[in-house]
């Protein structure tokens, strides 16, 4: 039989404990094992790898150079196994678990507030939600589906269009000081909040207005739309954001429209899922539910395209 060079979990746990505590006695106490069992695991591991992981100095263990390098990998492996076990136990009572990637602010502002409705209708399906800014590669990541913007990528079997991205200009009432429906020149004279991962939004807004493009790139920069919205609420400037991501603040009056115009983003929000996923009942239920929620998203006439 071919010899395996892959360590066992017991060997990794013994190694980590000895690396941290410096003796097999203390490691055995921590692991609830005998000293001889820990020593045997360390010996088997070193024999398996063909290198000395420790220097023996009297009754102390000190990591060798190879041991220090291996310690980082062993720690990561054990932590990953622990996290996987916790995730599995957390969803142990569900018959179907959907792992879904979603844009961070869309998750916070649009998807999560609606998930209670999905859970009430489909209590047997659990959602494991993670954020991704980039388009998900289903061949590289173990997601079942992704809610994103942008073109379809190879390896995405299903694409469901949800709704257009309608970008609006918003600001705090205090910043506008009673003004409303500002024209482009008035907007350009105010601080323009920038979204750093989409730095050309203001350029597109002002492209037909004859405004010096250099002035439209100045202002505080934020990585996510949620930060841009909060900066606008704080009165730091005017923001150009997807309306769907500022609905709460507009409804409460913390933000108001600073222009009657709006523009449509270059790509709609969409749901993509991996090949073969359409056969899963839980995913089919999620797609039907999400499509219905997206259909309820208001579509307003555009004063600017």
Say which CATH number the domain at 209 has.
3.40.190.10
Write the CB contacts of 184 (distance below 8 Å, at least 6 apart in sequence).
205, 206, 209, 211, 259
Q: Which domain holds residue 286?
A: 95-161+268-294
User: 140 and 211 in one domain?
Assistant: no
H helix or E strand, kind and range, residue 159: strand 158-163
The count of structural domains within the chain is: 3
Which two tokens mark 153? 């990528």
What does the pLDDT average to over 280-286? 89
Predicted pLDDT at 2: 55
Predicted pLDDT at 242: 95
Q: For the chain, what percentages of helix, strand and coil (3-state, to nearest 5) are there? A: 45, 20, 35
CATH number at residue 80: 1.10.10.10
**Is residue 1 situated within a structural domain?**
no
On whether the CB atoms of residues 245 and 105 are closer than 8 A, the answer is yes
Nearest alpha carbon to residue 70 among 4, 19, 10: 19
Q: Is the pLDDT of residue 304 over 60?
A: no
User: 236 and 222 in one domain?
Assistant: yes
User: 147 and 219 in one domain?
Assistant: no
User: 153 and 278 in one domain?
Assistant: yes
Q: Is the pLDDT of residue 276 over 50?
A: yes
Predicted pLDDT at 90: 66
**Is residue 41 situated within a structural domain?**
yes
Which two tokens mark 298? 């208001």
Q: How many residues does the chain have?
A: 305
Predicted pLDDT at 301: 47
User: 82 and 22 in one domain?
Assistant: yes
Burial group, residue 105, by CB count within 10 angstroms (0-12, 13-18, 19+): buried
User: How does pLDDT run across 40-62, given as a tens digit for each residue?
Assistant: 999 999 999 999 999 999 889 99
In percent, how much of the chain has pLDDT > 90? 58
Can you give the pTM of this predicted structure? 0.69
User: 169 and 254 in one domain?
Assistant: yes
Burial group, residue 78, by CB count within 10 angstroms (0-12, 13-18, 19+): middle
**Is residue 299 situated within a structural domain?**
no
User: How does pLDDT run across 176-186, given as a tens digit for each residue?
Assistant: 988 878 888 89
Q: Is the pLDDT of residue 153 over 80?
A: no
**Lowest-confidence region among 28-32, 89-93, 233-237:** 89-93
**Is residue 305 situated within a structural domain?**
no
């Amino acid at each position: 039989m071919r010899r395996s060079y892959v360590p066992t979990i017991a060997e990794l746990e013994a190694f980590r404990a000895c690396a941290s505590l410096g003796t097999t006695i203390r490691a055995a106490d921590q692991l609830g094992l005998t000293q001889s069992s820990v020593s045997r695991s360390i010996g088997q591991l070193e024999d398996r790898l063909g290198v000395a992981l420790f220097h023996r100095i009297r009754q102390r263990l000190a990591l060798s150079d190879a041991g220090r390098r291996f310690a980082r990998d062993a720690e990561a492996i054990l932590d990953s196994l622990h996290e996987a076990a916790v995730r599995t136990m957390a969803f142990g009572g569900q018959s179907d678990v959907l792992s879904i990637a979603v844009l961070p602010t869309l998750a916070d502002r649009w998807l999560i507030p609606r998930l209670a409705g999905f859970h009430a209708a489909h209590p047997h399906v659990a959602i494991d939600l993670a954020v991704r800014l980039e388009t998900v590669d289903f061949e590289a990541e173990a997601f079942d589906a992704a809610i994103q913007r942008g073109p379809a990528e190879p390896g995405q079997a299903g694409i469901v269009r949800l709704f257009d991205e309608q970008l609006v200009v918003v600001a705090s009432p205090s910043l506008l000081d009673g003004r409303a429906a500002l024209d482009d020149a008035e907007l350009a004279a105010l601080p323009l909040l920038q979204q750093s991962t989409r730095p050309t939004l203001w350029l597109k807004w002002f492209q037909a207005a004859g405004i010096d493009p250099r002035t439209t790139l100045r202002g505080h920069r934020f990585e996510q739309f949620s930060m841009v919205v909060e900066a606008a609420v704080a009165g730091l400037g005017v923001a150009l954001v997807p309306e769907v991501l500022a609905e709460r603040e507009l409804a409460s009056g913390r933000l108001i429209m600073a222009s009657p115009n709006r523009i449509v983003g270059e790509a709609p929000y969409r749901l993509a899922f991996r090949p073969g996923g359409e056969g899963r009942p839980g995913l089919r239920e999620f797609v039907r539910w999400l499509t219905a929620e997206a259909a309820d998203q208001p579509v307003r006439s555009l004063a600017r395209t």
